[in-house]
Chain A
Amino acid sequence: MNDSFKPKIIYFLCSWCGTGGSETASAFGLHYPENVLPFRVNCTGSLSTVYILRAFLEGADGVVISGCHPGDCHYNNGNFRARRRVAIIKSILDTLGLEPERIWFRYVAHGEGKRFVDTAAEFNDYIKKLGPNPLKTRRDI
Chain B
Amino acid sequence: MRGAIFKIEKDFDKEIRNFLKKTIVKKFFGAILIPCKVPANDSYAYLLIRDEALIEKASILPPVMPIQGGRVLKSFTRLGKIDAKVAVIMRPCEIRASIELSKLEQVDLTNVTLISVDCPGVIPLSDYLEDPVKGTDTFKEAFKTWESDSVRELCKVCYNFTLTGSDLHIGILGSEQGNLFLIPVSEKGRNLLDFFNINYENDISSWENIVKKKEDERKIKRKEFRENLRQEIEGIDNLLKTFSDCLNCHNCMRVCPICYCRQCFFDSDALNLPSTNYIKRAENRGSIKFPPETLLFHLGRMSHMITSCVSCGSCEDACPVSLPISRVFSFVAENVQNLFNYVPGMSVKDPVPTITYEEEELKEFENPYIETYNIQRM
Beta-carbon contact of A121 and B339 below 8 Å: no
Beta-carbon contact of B235 and A92 below 8 Å: no
With beta carbons under 8 angstroms apart, the residue of A53, A77, A87, A94 that contacts B299 is: A53
Beta-carbon contact of B296 and A95 below 8 Å: no
CB distance from B297 to the nearest CB of A (A): 9
Beta-carbon contact of B353 and A84 below 8 Å: yes
Taken together as a complex, chains A and B put the C-alpha atoms of A118 and B372 apart, in Å, by: 9
For chain B, the count of residues having a C-beta within 8 Å of the partner chain is 50
A-B contact count (CB 8 A): 133
Beta-carbon contact of B236 and A98 below 8 Å: yes
Asked if A135 is at the interface (CB within 8 A of a chain B CB), the reply is: yes
CB-contacts of B79-130 with A (<8 A): none
With beta carbons under 8 angstroms apart, the residue of A89, A92, A95, A138 that contacts B285 is: A138
Beta-carbon contact of A141 and B332 below 8 Å: no
With beta carbons under 8 angstroms apart, the residue of B239, B286, B294, B303 that contacts A88 is: B303
Beta-carbon contact of B354 and A105 below 8 Å: no
Instruction: Give per-residue flags for A79-113: 1 if the beta carbon is below 8 A from chain B beta carbons, else 0.
Output: 01101111111111011111000001111000000
Given the complex, which residues of B lie within 8 Å of A119, measured CB to CB?
Answer: 369
Beta-carbon contact of B367 and A97 below 8 Å: no
Given the complex, which residues of A lie within 8 Å of B354, measured CB to CB?
Answer: 81, 84-85, 88
With beta carbons under 8 angstroms apart, the residue of A71, A81, A137, A140 that contacts B240 is: A140
Given the complex, which residues of B lie within 8 Å of A92, measured CB to CB?
Answer: 299, 302-303, 306, 332, 336
Q: Is the interface of B mostly helix, strand, loop or mixed?
A: helix
Taken together as a complex, chains A and B put the C-alpha atoms of A15 and B240 apart, in Å, by: 36
Beta-carbon contact of A58 and B281 below 8 Å: yes
Given the complex, which residues of A lie within 8 Å of B361, measured CB to CB?
Answer: 83
CB distance from B358 to the nearest CB of A (A): 7
With beta carbons under 8 angstroms apart, the residue of B294, B336, B374 that contacts A121 is: B374
Additional 14 contacts, C-beta under 8 A, given A59-B284, A96-B299: A57-B293, A77-B357, A80-B358, A81-B354, A83-B366, A88-B336, A88-B353, A105-B366, A106-B367, A106-B369, A118-B369, A118-B373, A125-B377, A135-B236
Top 6 A-B pairs, shortest CB-CB distance? A80-B357, A49-B303, A97-B234, A50-B300, A97-B235, A87-B365
List residues of A whose CB falls within 8 A of some B CB.
Answer: 48-50, 53-54, 57-59, 70-71, 77, 80-81, 83-92, 94-98, 104-107, 114-115, 117-119, 121-122, 125, 134-141
